[in-house]
Amino acid sequence: MKTWQCRTCGFIYFEAEGLPEEGIPAGTKWEEIPDDWICPMCGTPKVDFDMIELD
Amino acid sequence: MTIPQEIADTIVDPKAYADGKRIDDAFSFLRKEMPLAQATPADYDPFWVVTKHADILEVERQNDLFHNGDRAATLVPREVDLKVREMMGGSPHLVRSLVQMDNPDHMAYRRITQGAFLPQNLRKLEDRIREIARGFIDRMAAKGDTCDFARDVAFLYPLHVIMEVLGVPEVDEPRMLKLTQELFGSADPELNRLGAEVKDPAVGLAAMAETVGEFITYFNEMTEDRRRKPREDLASLIANATIDGQPLDHFAAMSYYIIAATAGHDTTSNTTAGGLWAIAERPDQFKRLKADPSLIPSFLEETIRWVTPVKHFMRTATADAEVHGQKIAKGDWMMLCYPSGNRDEDVFADPFEFKIDRSPNKHVAFGYGAHVCLGQHLGRMEMRVLWEELLPRLESVELNGTPKLMQANFVCGPKSVPIRFKMH
């Protein structure tokens, strides 16, 4: 499964779960998240997230 | 606007943190009346006091505008600051860890161990950590029906975990605990190196410098050993790391070990002790938590918010700036008050209530931005594992005396949590 991880704090974005409390519905693709979005845990910009494959 | 003298003196007073209510009242007053104002406590250089959750995030997010290392990264009286600069060739820091660094060094040094602390890499440690947790719980059960949960479990379990990760042998753990408590408990007569109330700041500083020296002597030997024979531990990672092809600056490497060997367990110990204290006083929540283990993650986050073991960090403005409508001048010193951010009425409903199902719970106990706690995932994992193992075995728990908080204004929490319990 493809996920996206913050380089600073390790927060992982799961597309299936989205971030409903941030206004990002479940199922939102990573590409659909605005470029000015920042990590909810530490404020790191979207550009500093890496794609990682989880089992 | 300047903060009333009594409040300014309270927020630097280690005894106010040991009292609990005194510091909570001071921050509540500030959040309501002057959320970002300047304090001029006796014996300290003036500094801004940042009390609102949103302002703490705002400052921490802009790590190039608000530096960690330009002035002292934690609150120190003017006299101590001058003496540290004298001792350290002009630097305001007794150690130079990630906490005292800014970019580009901060990023380069953080990258050395960052991978080791990511959740996917920590996962392989979980079975071993569970085994350690079970060992401590067995020892607690063997004590009968009373113990001091802080001293008998909470101080020792995270210590053992981080020392194993770091590569410090078990036989040296009591020494590491003592040195940590001397450093973070330097204002507490029961914990500091002098074993007495520190009346002369210069004497207190000399004692702290001795503690740091003892750490450095220890980790010097360890570095040499790991360079000769690298192992699968954090010490080997630090000892053999390079930046731009060069080994780490020696003082920065020593400081790296020191922060791992101190902040790597004391914060988790404080939170764990405070968590048990909270449920021992709230039988209804204890019962609910036992009945529904799916509440453990939210309970855990609430213990972190509740205790907020790191009470502050300082920042220094690198240019003129504005926060909360307040003009901050280049060079100004700012105190980020995490316990206040974590009781902010604009973010947390009933902030002075302990709720095991609090959601959302976006506390700032780990900080935010580039300096967010490196060990947060390890800390969360070891606490989750402990609660997962302890709660099913704990049939009842109640206080068996009055818990005591540590006397400190930087990293602190409960130092004694006497309990009466039943376990199977």
Closest residue to A41, CB basis, from B114, B120, B372: B372
Closest residue to B372, CB basis, from A8, A38, A54: A8
Closest residue to A9, CB basis, from B61, B360, B372: B372
pLDDT of residue A10: 85
pLDDT of residue B269: 97
| Number of cross-chain residue pairs from A and B with Cβ atoms under 8 Å apart | 31
pLDDT of residue A22: 84
pLDDT of residue B126: 97
- Average pLDDT for A12-32: 93
For A20, nearest residue in chain B (alpha carbons): B360
For B378, nearest residue in chain A (alpha carbons): A10
Contact list, A5 vs chain B (CB under 8 Å): 118
pLDDT of residue B306: 98
pLDDT of residue B119: 87
Contacts of A29-32 spanning 24+ positions with Cβ under 8 A = A30/A2, A30/A4
Q: What are the sequence ranges of the domains in chain A? A: 2-53
C-beta neighbour count of B117 within 10 angstroms:
20
Mutate to test the interface with B, among A3, A4, A5, A9 (most CBs of B within 10 A): A9
Give yes or no for a contact between B388 and B293, defined as CB atoms under 8 angstroms apart. yes
Helices (H), B194-334: 201-228, 234-239, 250-280, 283-291, 296-307
Q: How many residues does chain B have?
A: 424
CATH class name, domain A2-53? mainly beta
- Chain-chain contact of A10 with B57 (C-beta, under 8 angstroms): no
- Spans in chain B with pLDDT lower than 50: none
- Chain-chain contact of A42 with B377 (C-beta, under 8 angstroms): no
- Could you tell me where the beta strands, DSSP code E, fall in B82-156? 146-148
What ipTM, to 2 d.p.? 0.75
Domains and CATH numbers, chain B: 5-409 (1.10.630.10)
pLDDT surpasses 80 at A55: no
**% residues pLDDT > 70 (chain A):** 98
Contact list, B120 vs chain A (CB under 8 Å): 52, 54
Q: For residue B344, which phi and psi values (nearest 5 degrees)? A: -70, 120
pLDDT of residue A42: 86
